[in-house]
């Protein structure tokens, strides 16, 4: 049986809302005239989340479950879902019902226009300002540094052509960066406004420390996007300040020695020159090694052969 759509939902201690979530997903699925599957990923829940998934699997043939032994985070849960998904198109959303499953057909409609990734935009977000403001700052930084302009990278409600995301090696909080990472392969990305509801069930799984994780991942993601296929260039750019400092302190040291500007103290400038030269050589050496490593790898994260060879047609979503 060929499956067109896979719906992936990471869950962590969501026993209070899982029944309502499944009911909403199956209600949307009844409108489809193509085969679909629902993959619920239990990210190491300590409540009855997994038991409820097992119960519902007995009555819903489209429902599948993946269970982690401990909590690994939303990114790992989504990647596990990608690895086990059979659909040509993959939709992800949060399990706390702040995302609306009824918006899934809207994402598929937009994908019909030729896009590879359609991201949800929580235009009227129903979260506390303390969460909204850092998110807006992060969205602005990501859009500016990657060139992929989205208002809301943090919205989990997204639709992907499967070949766009299966090759992505993600970690940390990088699930929010999937559109930017997929842009390395030439994926066409857009966004549409979607519904967003106030939290009714459970509590937020993110604390203040998440801000530091997100910004460190922004830095790592930009390195991946810009220099993963040309690491020598990246290391060379990092070495430029040390090369300039080497030249500067070297000239000062020579002039100080020749003109006796600072009697007996020119050794300090020679020492500074040597330290900066060693740093520059170290960075350039690492760049050469990294270039050799990349030259012997398949660079699968920067290629999307299936999409360049064929187009996946988005099936109609209503009977």
pLDDT tens column, 305-315: 333 333 444 44
Using only C-alpha atoms, the chain has a radius of gyration, in whole angstroms, of 25
- Among 201, 228, 255, residue at a domain's last position: 228
- Among 228, 250, 270, residue at a domain's last position: 228
Q: Is residue 139 part of a domain?
A: yes
Task: Compute the average pLDDT of residues 196-201.
Answer: 77
Between β-strands 63-67 and 36-42, what pairing exists: parallel, antiparallel or unpaired? parallel
Say whether pLDDT at 194 is over 80: yes
Task: Compute the average pLDDT of residues 128-137.
Answer: 74
Is 167 found in the same domain as 246?
no
Is 198 found in the same domain as 156?
yes
Q: Is residue 118 part of a domain?
A: yes
Q: What is the DSSP letter of 175?
A: G
Is 252 found in the same domain as 209?
no
pLDDT at 130: 67
Task: Compute the average pLDDT of residues 193-216.
Answer: 68
Is 253 found in the same domain as 153?
no
Q: Is residue 315 part of a domain?
A: no
pLDDT at 137: 81
Task: Compute the average pLDDT of residues 125-153.
Answer: 79
Q: Tens of pLDDT along 212-223? A: 666 676 676 667
Is 268 found in the same domain as 185?
no
pLDDT at 253: 80
CA–CA dist 177, 231 (Å, integer): 20
- Among 211, 228, 245, residue at a domain's last position: 228
Q: Is residue 302 part of a domain?
A: no
Is 203 found in the same domain as 60?
yes
Instruction: Find, among 154, 200, 193, the residue nearest to 174 by Cα.
Output: 154
pLDDT at 124: 86
CB 77 within 8 A of CB 68: yes
Provide the domain count of the chain: 2
| Lookup: tokens for 81 | 């879902």
> Position of tokens 């966004």?
191
Say whether pLDDT at 98 is over 80: yes
Say whether pLDDT at 38 is over 90: yes
Q: What is the pTM of this model?
A: 0.71
Going from the C-alpha of 284 to that of each of 57, 153, 287, the distances in angstroms are: 55, 34, 5
Q: Is residue 304 part of a domain?
A: no
Is 249 found in the same domain as 222?
no
Going from the C-alpha of 210 to that of each of 157, 194, 219, 233, the distances in angstroms are: 20, 24, 14, 31
Say whether pLDDT at 81 is over 60: yes
Is 213 found in the same domain as 119?
yes
Say whether pLDDT at 174 is over 80: no
Is 245 found in the same domain as 215?
no
Q: What is the DSSP letter of 316?
A: P
Q: Tens of pLDDT along 235-285? A: 888 889 999 989 988 888 888 777 766 655 667 778 888 899 999 999 888
Is 256 found in the same domain as 148?
no
Percent of the chain at pLDDT above 70? Answer: 79
CATH number at residue 88: 3.90.550.10
Least confident of 11-15, 108-112, 250-254: 250-254
Q: Which residue range(s) make up the domain with 245? A: 231-297
Q: Is residue 106 part of a domain?
A: yes
Mean of all residue pLDDT scores within the chain = 81
Is 274 found in the same domain as 148?
no
Q: Is residue 206 part of a domain?
A: yes
Q: Is residue 311 part of a domain?
A: no
Task: Compute the average pLDDT of residues 5-12.
Answer: 95
Is 153 found in the same domain as 217?
yes
């Amino acid at each position: 049986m060929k499956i067109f759509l896979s719906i992936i939902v990471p869950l962590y201690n969501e026993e209070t809302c899982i029944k309502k979530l499944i009911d909403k997903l199956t209600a949307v699925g009844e409108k489809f005239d193509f085969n679909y599957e629902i993959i619920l990923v239990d990210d190491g829940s300590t409540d009855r989340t997994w038991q409820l998934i097992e119960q519902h699997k007995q009555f819903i043939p489209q429902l599948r479950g993946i269970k982690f032994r401990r909590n690994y985070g939303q990114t790992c849960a989504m990647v596990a879902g990608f690895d086990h998904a059979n659909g040509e198109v993959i939709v992800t959303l949060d399990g706390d019902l702040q995302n609306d499953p009824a918006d899934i057909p809207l994402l598929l409609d937009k994908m019909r226009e030729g896009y590879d990734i359609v991201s949800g935009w929580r235009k009227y977000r129903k979260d506390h300002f303390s969460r909204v403001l850092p998110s807006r700052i992060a969205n602005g930084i990501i859009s500016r540094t990657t060139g992929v302009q989205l208002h809301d990278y943090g919205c989990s409600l997204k639709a992907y052509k499967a070949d766009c995301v299966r090759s992505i090696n993600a970690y940390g909080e990088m699930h929010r960066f999937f559109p930017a990472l997929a842009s390395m392969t030439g994926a066409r990305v857009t966004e549409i406004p979607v519904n967003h509801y106030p939290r009714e069930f459970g509590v937020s799984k993110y604390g203040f420390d998440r801000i530091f994780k997100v910004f460190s991942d922004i830095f790592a993601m930009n390195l991946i996007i810009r220099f993963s296929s040309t690491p020598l260039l990246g290391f060379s750019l990092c070495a430029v300040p040390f090369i300039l400092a080497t030249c500067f302190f070297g000239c000062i040291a020579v002039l100080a020695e020749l003109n006796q500007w600072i009697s007996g103290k020119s050794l300090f400038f020679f020492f500074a020159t040597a330290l900066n030269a060693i740093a520059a050589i170290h960075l350039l050496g690492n760049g050469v090694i990294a270039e050799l490593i990349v030259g012997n790898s398949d660079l699968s994260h920067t290629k999307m052969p299936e999409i360049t060879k064929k187009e996946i047609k988005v099936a109609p979503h209503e009977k």
